[in-house]
Amino acid sequence: MPYNAAEEALMTVAETCLKAKEHVPSIAFASEADMNAMLSASAAALRARAGEIIAENAEEVAACTRGAQFADRLMLDEKRIDGIAAGLEKLIGLPCPVGEVLEERTLYNGLQLRRVRVPFGVIGIIYEARPNVTADAVGLAIKSGNAVVLRGSKDAIRSNRAIVRVMKDAVRDAGFDPEFIQLIEDTTREGAAQFMKMNGVVDVLIPRGSAGLIRSAVENATVPVIETGTGNCHVYFEKTADIGKALPILINAKTQRTSVCNACESLLIDEPFARVHLSGIVSALRGKGVEIVACEKCRALMPDLAPATEEDYAAEFLALKISVKIVSGVEEAISHINRYGTHHSDAIVTEDAAAAEKFLNEVDSAAVYVNASTRFTDGFEFGLGAEMGISTQKLHARGPMGLRELTSYKYQIRGEGQIRG
Confidence of residue 3 (pLDDT cuts 50, 70, 90): low
110 pLDDT more than 70? yes
Q: What percent of the chain has pLDDT over 70?
A: 97
In this prediction, residue 207 carries a pLDDT of 92
What homologous superfamily does CATH list for 5-228+401-414?
Answer: Aldehyde Dehydrogenase; Chain A, domain 1 (3.40.605.10)
In this prediction, residue 385 carries a pLDDT of 67
Beta-ladder partners of 151:
126
SS3 104: strand
Mean pLDDT in residue range 272-300: 98
Average pLDDT taken over every residue of the chain: 94
CB 43 within 8 A of CB 95: no
In this prediction, residue 265 carries a pLDDT of 98
1 pLDDT more than 60? no
Residue 197's contacts (CB-CB under 8 Å, 6 or more residues apart) are 220, 221, 222, 223
Mean pLDDT in residue range 393-408: 88
SS3 291: strand
Domains 5-228+401-414 and 233-376 fall in the same CATH topology: no
Closest to 204 measured CA to CA, from 147, 286, 274: 147
CB 311 within 8 A of CB 340: no
Considering only residues 72 and 193, tell me which one the structure prediction assigns the higher pLDDT. Answer: 193
CB 182 within 8 A of CB 16: yes
Beta-ladder partners of 323:
266, 293
392 pLDDT more than 90? no
Amino acid identity for residue 294 in this structure: A
| Residue 116 host element (H or E) | strand 112-119
Residue 421's contacts (CB-CB under 8 Å, 6 or more residues apart) are none
**DSSP symbol at 283:** H
Q: Which of 140-144, 179-183, 384-388 has the lowest mean pLDDT?
A: 384-388
9 pLDDT more than 70? no
pLDDT in tens, 42-80: 999 999 999 999 999 999 999 999 888 789 889 999 999
Confidence of residue 208 (pLDDT cuts 50, 70, 90): confident
The full 3-state SS of 270-296, as one line of letters, equals EHHHHHHHHHHHHHHHHHCCCEEEECH
In this prediction, residue 225 carries a pLDDT of 93
| Residue 190 host element (H or E) | helix 189-195
The Cα–Cα gap between 317 and 300 comes to: 24
Strand 321-327 with 345-349, pairing: unpaired
387 pLDDT more than 90? no
Segments making up each domain of the chain, as ranges: 5-228+401-414, 233-376
Beta-ladder partners of 368:
346
pLDDT in tens, 347-375: 999 999 999 999 999 999 999 999 999 99
| Residue 323 host element (H or E) | strand 321-327
CB 129 within 8 A of CB 175: no
Confidence of residue 7 (pLDDT cuts 50, 70, 90): low
* E strand intervals along 271-310: 291-294, 306-307
Q: What percent of the chain has pLDDT over 90?
A: 84
The Cα–Cα gap between 30 and 83 comes to: 26
The Cα–Cα gap between 130 and 210 comes to: 11
In this prediction, residue 229 carries a pLDDT of 72
Sequence length of the chain is 421
* CA triple 274-278-282, angle to 5 deg: 150
Q: Which fold has domain 233-376?
A: Aldehyde Dehydrogenase; Chain A, domain 2 (3.40.309)
The Cα–Cα gap between 161 and 341 comes to: 35
In this prediction, residue 313 carries a pLDDT of 98
pTM (2 d.p.): 0.84
In this prediction, residue 8 carries a pLDDT of 58
CB 130 within 8 A of CB 207: no
pLDDT in tens, 210-249: 888 888 999 999 999 998 878 999 999 999 999 999 999 9
The Cα–Cα gap between 210 and 225 comes to: 15
In this prediction, residue 129 carries a pLDDT of 81
Mean pLDDT in residue range 124-151: 95
